[in-house]
Amino acid sequence: MLYYAAPMEGLTDRVWRQAHQKFFGGPDRYYAPFLSPPENRIPVKKKMADLLPEANPGAPLIPQLLGKDGSCAAWMVRLLREMGYEEINLNFGCPAGTVTAKGKGAGMLRDPQALDEFLYAVFAEAGGPISVKTRLGVSDPAEFEAILEVYRKYPLCELILHPRVMKQLYRGQANRAAFARALPSCPMPVCYNGDLTTLAQLRELEAEHPHLHAVMLGRGLIADPALLRKARGGAPASREELAGFMEQLYHGYTQQFGSAQCAISRMKAVWYYVIRLFEGSEELEKQLKKLRQPWEYEVTADRIFAQLPLLEEPLPRL
């Protein structure tokens, strides 16, 4: 079974991927946060910089596209292949209101015919290999039957299925029963994505579906950067590794954004997950949320690593 690191906007950019690869490794692939093909077909240099092959050493990176114009997406696929990427992933799974209101992401699942036309244009103008990340539907898991009929028309190299509907966002539990029902009808390799935050949950899924092609981890891997290393029989994250990892992120974002103060906001987003690896972190977590200055951040981060007991698995959020 293959292990993938999920694309998470604002979290798994090249700075995070480089640091994660250096300190923990584990994924067979990293997936880049989605890129929207510009309507004027002029690449945005800042967006493309995140995908430069020299900025993404180690495990293979798969670019992800989010759009609703199949011809424009096909143009972007061809551009990415010129950069050296073979497989491109299409995002029909993002449930964010700002995305779905434009008919993109999971909003594409409202109209299977439009979805079909989009895929037809991509394959006709750019060809494969193309993979898809999807949800079960918009409001009812039963919608997936018609959606899968569309996917079955095309030679998808992989289907990444997050078993929630669009309207759930990330609330409630992933519908593992619906996933199990859909799996036998999928002729292409299938990857499971959703609610895998501990090694025990990962092992449970592997036992349920021993022939599953791959699993993709998002929030669970942010919270426990060593999760996939542990899945391969390796050790949990050590205090020294985590400290080095977070320090590299901080310096990397400081360089990327041009100031340590700007880097703090991104670090808070990472700490929101990683802080659960430390027992008794409530008070220092409150300080993290409030601080603004680089010296405040550095002192608080040092206190976390110096004072708090490190756990092998992150505590759940209540």
Mean pLDDT for 227-252 is 97
Is residue 120 within 8 A of residue 137, CB to CB? The reply is no
pLDDT tens profile 100-143: 999 999 999 999 999 999 999 999 999 989 999 999 999 999 99
- Can you give the pTM of this predicted structure? 0.95
Q: Is the pLDDT of residue 318 over 70?
A: no
- For residue 248, count CB atoms less than 10 angstroms from its CB and return exposed for 0-12, middle for 13-18, buried for 19 or more: middle
Percentage of the chain surpassing pLDDT 90? Answer: 95
Count of residues making up the chain: 318
Residue type, 174: A
- As a whole number of angstroms, the distance between CA 289 and CA 286 comes to 5
Mean pLDDT for 271-284 is 97
DSSP H helical segments within the chain, as ranges? 14-23, 45-49, 70-82, 97-100, 112-125, 144-151, 176-182, 199-208, 219-223, 227-231, 239-257, 260-274, 282-290, 294-307
Name, in order, each residue with C-beta under 8 angstroms of 220's C-beta and a sequence gap of 6 or more.
196, 197, 198, 201, 227
The first and second tokens of residue 158, run together, are 């992989």
What is the three-class DSSP state of 97? helix
- As a whole number of angstroms, the distance between CA 316 and CA 161 comes to 24
pLDDT for the residue 59: 84
> CA angle, 184 as apex, 181 and 186 as ends, to 5°?
105
Domain ranges of the chain: 2-231, 239-307
pLDDT tens profile 53-112: 888 988 899 999 999 999 999 999 999 999 999 999 999 999 999 999 999 999 999 999
Comparing 237 with 316, the larger pLDDT belongs to: 237
Q: What is the architecture of the domain spanning 2-231?
A: Alpha-Beta Barrel (3.20)
pLDDT band at residue 317, thresholds of 50, 70 and 90?
confident
